[in-house]
Structure 1
Amino acid sequence: MKKVTAVFDIGKTNKKFFLFDKNFNEVYTEYTSFKEIEDEDGHPTENLGELRTWVKEVFDKFLKSDTYDVKAINFSTYGASFVHIDEQGNPLTPLYNYTKPLDGKVVDAFFEKYGPREEFLKNTGCTELSMLNSGLQLFWLKYEKPEVFKKIKYSLHLPQYLSFLFTGIPVSEYTSIGCHTALWDYSKKDYHSWVYSEGIDKILPSIVSTETSINMNYDGHRVKAGVGIHDSSAALLPYVRSINKKFVLVSTGTWSIVFNPYFETSIEEQSYDKDTLNYMRINGRPVRATRLFLGNEYKVQVAYLSKHFGVDDDYHMKVKFDYDTYYEIVEDFKHCFKWESIEGENMPEQTYMPYTEFEHAYHQLMVELVLIQIKCIKDALGGNNFARIYVDGGFSNNDIYIKLLCHYFRDKKLSTTDASLGSALGAAISISDNKLNSKFLKKNYALKKHVPFIVKA
């Protein structure tokens, strides 16, 4: 029987189960998804009961397998989500969706007690994101649903709740606490004073290292169970563990998030920016992160260009970088696009399209988006001058995006990776004793190095 580590990787849409061998090779994958249900206010939310049943059934099935010997299990999930349990370990509320808006009166009341607003957000590494600041959910429950709040024995972040289902041991860990929850004071390296003032600390279990594992006897099997990890921090971990030089990671998709795991400027010295967040590494050290709604804006603008030029919706995927087209654009550069979901300097009041060919307009779009991406990367660097940039996610396969980034960061080494297993693999690594070496990314992540294009005289 092949010895494996099992990982549940729970996204908002897709729920995935992986088995990894001792060398972190994927040997089995299973996917599912559930229809959302509604909370008491009619807002869509995770079907926690169905998720709980699926997780148990899948794990039980593989414990009885004749092919695999499951030696360990861990959990990676999206963040900013709490499961509030009673004395018996039963959930007291729906798993409130982080997209659920908080009543403005509750938010105002919070900042009236614990403001100034901007200073608070800076110290907690947050932007004001309503329920996405999941700590405010606890404040909301205390004052808006006091009868429920009184019954809470523990409030568990979602990764730790899944671990609790197997171990029965409630814990907290750094990566979940540190993902824009408004719970953690990065200047004090402790829960923010408001957590203690409101007595919230009494329902938050003891903090343990993300690398903690619990040896359990599960249905007659000895299994090592991890305590769970926030998915963004999990996706960053394989890079941190295998690269011995400082770097930033540009993780692209609907959001483009730039992670700087080596940021050394204290919170007090930083200026507040609504698109700059802090996360935490598994050891509690801060990760500076900047965000850009890149994939969303790209989708909006490509749909506009496809309609404007009368081409197929997927035509943009065939367009490759052309130096002469790029040179024509930058020789007498003007901003042409009015953004729908991001902010940019020198943005016109409405989109102006001086081109007769889709390819030229598409190059213009990519130049303008990359210029904003560059600012995002520089903000994440925060004055640090690291020599390495890694890009993963959807835009790592966009020829124009990569060539432009490479060109504008000619002084740095830029590489792309295929991190489709990202957060799941990070969860497996976090509870493993195996050391990663510099060849790990090349073997497991299809590491590809890029060089700047030659500028013609």
Structure 2
Amino acid sequence: MATENTAAIAVLDIGKTNVKLALIDDAGRVLAEQRRPNTVLRDGPYPHHDTDGIWTWMLDTLKGFAAQAQVTAIVPVTHGATAALVDDNGLVLPVLDYEFEPPAQQHTEYLGQRPAYDATYSPQLPAGLNLGRQLAWLAQAFPADVARAKHILMYPQYWAWRLSGVAAGEVTSLGCHTDLWQPASAQYSQLVERMGWTQQMPALRNAWDALGAVSPDVAARTGLPADCQVICGIHDSNASLLRHLDPQGSHAAPPAVLSTGTWVIAAVPGGPLDGLKEQSDMLANCSALGQPVPCMRFMGGREFAALAGTDATACSVDDLQQIIDQGTYALPTFAEAGGPFAGRKGSVVGPALPADAERTALATLYVVLMSDYCLTALGSAGDIVVEGSFTNNPHFAPLLAALRRGQQVIVTDDASGTTGGGWMLAHWGKVPAVQAHAAAPIALQGWAQYRERWLTLVG
């Protein structure tokens, strides 16, 4: 049981769907956890994140945490494709939601401004998923506000700045399909200089660097110790990847990692960049160690919900077998936010599904097939680690293991690898103890043939 003398850290984990604050002790045990929806507000000049709502909720939650343990550090971990423009007084504009679609004319203009794919390995994406497009549109629509911004902060570093008053840049969010960063050469892209943003980019820091103590106001409002440190922070899928990286480079073949949640991101550390294809939404993220990491992703959590329903009924192995036997297929895509089949309208072909459990089964088969597709495209040949919300689906990893013969599919007991990665940043050099097991391939008749037919249908 936690006491006021128990040392612990707080991880602020902002996903696209939910915001979580976790209290974790020095042994990596979660002592407390609180969640709230990540609400998008529509009462301003454009859809934007409820930063004030998150801030008030976070301070109230931290106050409760401070009564339970000696909180020594706070680590922000957030989704990508999001930035905050600030001056000394705070935001100069609301934080734009990356699902907002700027005017078509601006998109055409931006295509002439963005760097070449082989410089950034950042594919052209819809809406504001290329952060450079967001910033270019804001500069065009609100030139005076953008001009008076002192800093352009990536989203984790915005929260670090708001907690500590120290501005910083960090490569994992800069290198997340933003058009702003060149992962292979570890420097800003030509877009940053071309748009005049260089002076607004704060000094780069390591994700694990302590920027300083919480501000006196935060300490007073929460009861946190005055010397509680604020860690620079990290992009969420890179937090999940962190425990599988080796700072000394002694591991010849780190595992591929499937970070699952609203987005499913397949990452193959150490993989080649020359096989990446822009039209397939393949990209190179930048790890916390500054290394380019070939990745491919799709909006798996949202697509699963679209197929199964938000109140999905659990399915059985028999339900999965029924879908395979009757030949019902879900064909991409069911989210309008990139992925290897971006621009296609999702469809279900074959016999209809009368039962809720069968819809869950179809959704499960679909996200497994999409994950398998991404791993194959990236050339994954070694172990595969599954982290995140899909670890709660008992069929996901066994189905994947049945398709990835010769590879071991490992499932962690941590449904939030992002939280574990956040803990690592505050305890740099240590890896949290996480229980994991190899998934036994599930024996379904015709599963491999179902995949081949699916691949034929998706072309």
TM range (shorter): 0.7 to 0.9
Q: Which residue of 2 aligns with 1:52?
A: 55
Q: Distance in 2 between matches of 1:145 and 1:340?
A: 34
Residue 400 of structure 2 corresponds to 405
SS at match of 2:91: coil
Letter in 2 for 1:273: Q
Three-state SS of the structure 1 residue aligned to 2:71 is strand
Alignment partner, residue 92 of structure 2: 92
Quote the Cα distance in structure 2 between the aligned partners of 1:441 and 1:188: 34
Task: Determine whether 1:151 maps to 2:148.
Answer: yes
Structure 2's unaligned 5+ residue stretches are 217-224, 336-340, 446-459
Alpha carbons of structure 1 residues 350 and 428: separation in structure 2 relative to 1, 3 Å: closer
Partner in structure 2 of residue 435 of structure 1: 430
Cα distance, 1:276 vs structure 2? 1.5
Which of 381, 400, 406 aligns to 1:385? It is 381
Based on CA coordinates, which of the two structures has the bigger radius of gyration? 1
Partner residue, 2:75: 74
Distance 2:334 2:324 in 1: 28
Summarize the Cα distance change of 1:109–1:355 in structure 2 as closer, same or farther, 3 Å threshold.
closer
Aligned residues: 423
Distance 1:150 1:225, change over 3 A: same
Q: Tell me how large the CA RMSD over aligned residues is.
A: 3.5
Aligned to 2:441: 452
Query: 1:253-402, aligned counterparts within 5 Å?
Result: 253-263=261-271, 265-267=272-274, 270-302=276-308, 314-315=312-313, 317-320=314-317, 336-339=329-332, 341=334, 343=341, 351-353=349-351, 370-380=368-378, 382=379, 384-386=380-382, 388-402=383-397
Change (3 A) 1:314 1:368: closer
- Once the two structures are TM-superposed, the CA of residue 61 in structure 1 deviates from its matched residue by 5.7
Q: 1:429 offset after TM fit, Å?
A: 0.9
Which SS does the other structure have where 1:258 is aligned? Answer: strand
Tell me if 1:205 matches 2:202: yes
Deviations 1:8-27 (A, max 9, x none): 22234433222211111111
- Superposed CA offset, 1:51-107 (max 9, x none): 2333344445655x3x42122221112222211112x24211111111111122222
Indicate how the Cα distance of structure 1 residues 421 and 196 shifts in structure 2: closer, same or farther if over 3 A, else same: same
Going from structure 1 to structure 2, the CA distance change for 1:151 and 1:435 (only over 3 Å counts) comes to same
In 2, the alpha carbon distance for the partners of 1:359 and 1:57 equals 39
Cα 1:284–1:318 change in 2 (3 A) is: same
Q: Deviations over 1:278-299 (max 9, x none)?
A: 2221111122221234444444
- Cα drift, residue 339 of structure 1: 4.5
Residue 7 to residue 348, structure 1, CA distance change in 2 (3 Å): closer
* Contact in 1 for aligned 2:273/2:294 (Cα 8 Å): no
Q: Please state how far the C-alpha of 1:112 moved relative to its aligned partner.
A: 2.1
Tell me the distance in 1 between the aligned counterparts of 2:53 and 2:121. 33
Instruction: Measure the CA separation in 1 of the matches of 2:315 and 2:32.
Output: 32
Q: Deviations over 1:364-388 (max 9, x none)?
A: 77656544432211113x3x522x1
Give the aligned residue type for 1:247.
Answer: P
C-alpha spacing 1:413/1:124, structure 2 compared with 1 (3 Å): closer
* Alignment partner, residue 132 of structure 2: 135
SS state of the match for residue 420, structure 1? Answer: coil
When residues 288 and 58 of structure 1 are mapped into structure 2, their CA distance, relative to the original with a 3 A threshold, is: same
Q: Partner of 1:307 in structure 2?
A: none
- Structure 1 residues 327 and 47, CA gap change in structure 2 (3 angstroms): closer
The whole-number CA distance in structure 2 between the counterparts of 1:40 and 1:324 is: 49
Partner of 1:421: 416
Amino acid across the alignment from 1:260? V
Partner residue in 1 for 2:231: 226
Are 1:83 and 1:161, in contact at CA under 8 Å, matched by a contact in 2? yes
Letter in 2 for 1:280: C
Distance in 1 (CA, whole Å) between partners of 2:79 and 2:162 is 17
Question: Residue type matched to 2:70 in 1?
Answer: D
Q: Secondary structure, in 3 states, of the residue corresponding to 1:172?
A: coil
Q: 1:410 to 1:140 in 2, by over 3 A?
A: same
Q: Alignment partner of 1:24: what SS?
A: coil
Write the distance in 2 (CA, Å) between the matches of 1:394 and 1:233: 16
Question: Counterparts of 1:424 and 1:239 in 2: how far apart (Å)?
Answer: 14
Would the aligned equivalents of 1:321 and 1:400 in 2 still touch at CA under 8 Å?
Answer: no
Equivalent in 146, 162, 166 of residue 165 of structure 1: 162
Displacement, 1:214? Answer: 2.9
Deviation at 1:185, TM superposition (A): 1.8
Unaligned runs of at least 5 residues, structure 1? 304-312
Rounded Cα–Cα distance in structure 2 between residues aligned with 1:16 and 1:291: 23
Q: Distance in 2 between matches of 1:20 and 1:174?
A: 25
* Equivalent position of 1:252 in the other structure: 260
Q: CA deviation at 1:355?
A: 9.1
Q: Is the 8 A contact 2:120 2:180 kept in 1?
A: no
Distance across 1 between alignment mates of 2:276 and 2:209: 32
